[in-house]
Amino acid sequence: MTGAERKMKPWLKRILVGGLVLLLIGGIAIWYIFNEKFEDTSKEPSAYTVSAMDFIKEFEKNDTLANKKYAEKIIIINGRVSEMEAADTTINIKMIDTTTDAYIIFAFQQQHRKAAKQLKEGDTVSIKGSCSGGAYSEILETEFITFKRCVLNK
Amino acid sequence: MKKSIILFALLGLVTVSIAQKKKTTTSATINFDATTPLDKLPKAENKTVVASLNTKTGEVAFESIIKSFSFGNPKMQEHFNAPNWMDSEKFPKATFKGKITNVSAVNFKADGTYSATVTGDLTMHGVTKPVSTTASIVVKGKAISTTTDFTAKLADFGVNGPAIGAGKVATDPKISVIADFN
């Protein structure tokens, strides 16, 4: 076999180089997707700003519609802290509609838990977080709406 | 007439007494760990679980909104809620209803650590299966802290995503539950 015959054909070389580039791009994309972390909620744009009592009433009226509108979206809720409840090693904040006992509960993002602990019952606050949706609690016999990755909205 | 009034009054007292023994929290925590040697990402926590414990009858109950499980990785959270995993649009809640079978061995009025056996029905992904586990109950004054760890076979609950077959998600994820009642 001569040296010229051993030399790679240009079209084959192009396919191999193209394939390698695609593999590299794919690898970077997969690495990025699986190493991505949720951004700090304080930096995320919000879809809605609602008062706590209006928000609760919307879920009580029709939680199927309310879930479609709000679930998995970043929402800002303005209201008064009704309760601070221990959640393992941290604190959750609750806003309760005392006429029906329906409530919103906010679980805070790791880096914002210290700030949440500084709140007191009765404080007027604005909380931004990812709405997980609402449902009727068979245990409590009332509507409950949960939030995750929350931050105090400044 | 007099007898029925007394009977109703007694019935009312019993009902009130049992109701007073029911303790609830809206901040119980469930940690879900389906990591494998191939993938460390399927791991989540839910800190907004509703739980109840009746210290008289031993009845326990939990309910959780599936979308409340918070993952570190956005793609993993999306997969968890997707139709071939938990399908949280169709099955938005998971519940457990059960009983402490040895409730008489737990003195809720005396400080101490007690071992309890809990059996009941776990419903998730629209499927109900019996579950039995041991729980640790710590009584300190009026506070009652309960913790339990168990595994749930995903296939038993009709969860058979391709990632499970590929070894990227544990077939029997570890579930730990922490509930503090005051």
In this predicted model, what pLDDT tens digit does every residue of B72-98 receive, in sequence order?
Answer: 999 989 999 999 889 999 999 999 999
Quick one: what percent of chain B has pLDDT higher than 70?
88
Taking the Cβ of residue B146 and every Cβ of chain A, the question of whether any pair is shorter than 8 Å is answered with no
pLDDT at A5: 54
How does pLDDT run across B5-38, given as a tens digit for each residue? 665 655 554 554 545 589 999 999 999 998 888 8
A13 vs B108, higher pLDDT: B108
Task: With cut-offs at 50, 70 and 90, classify the pLDDT of residue A55.
Answer: very high
Contacts of A87 in chain B (CB under 8 A): 27-29, 47-48
Taking the Cβ of residue A129 and every Cβ of chain B, the question of whether any pair is shorter than 8 Å is answered with no
> Measured between alpha carbons, how far is A115 from A63 in angstroms, rounded to an integer?
30
State the nearest Cα–Cα gap between A99 and chain B, in angstroms: 18
pLDDT at A26: 80
DSSP state of A73: S
Contacts of B23 in chain A (CB under 8 A): none
Query: Predicted ipTM?
Result: 0.86
Contact A86 B180 (CB under 8 A): yes
Contacts of A37 in chain B (CB under 8 A): 72-74
Contact B29 A139 (CB under 8 A): no
Contacts of A137 in chain B (CB under 8 A): 50, 63
The two most distant CA atoms of chain A are separated, in Å, by: 92
Instruction: Provide the sign of the torsion angle of the four alpha carbons B85, B175, A135, B96, taken in this order.
Output: positive
List Cβ neighbours of B109 (8 Å cut-off, separation of 6 or more): B139
- Section A47-53 average pLDDT: 98
- φ, ψ at B164 (rounded to 5°): -70, -45
Crossing angle, helix A52-61 and helix A63-70, to 10 degrees?
130
Contacts of B79 in chain A (CB under 8 A): none
**Would you tell me which residues 66-95 of chain B have a C-beta closer than 8 angstroms to some C-beta of chain A?**
67-68, 70-76, 92-93, 95
Q: Which of A27-31, A100-104, B120-124 has the lowest mean pLDDT?
A: A27-31
How does pLDDT run across B29-65, given as a tens digit for each residue? 999 998 888 877 788 999 999 999 999 999 999 999 9
Tell me the pLDDT of chain A averaged across its residues: 92
The size of the A-B interface in CB pairs under 8 A is: 91
Contact A88 B52 (CB under 8 A): no
| Best residue in B22, B25, B26 for a mutation probing chain A (most A CBs within 10 Å) | B26
pTM of the model as a whole: 0.85
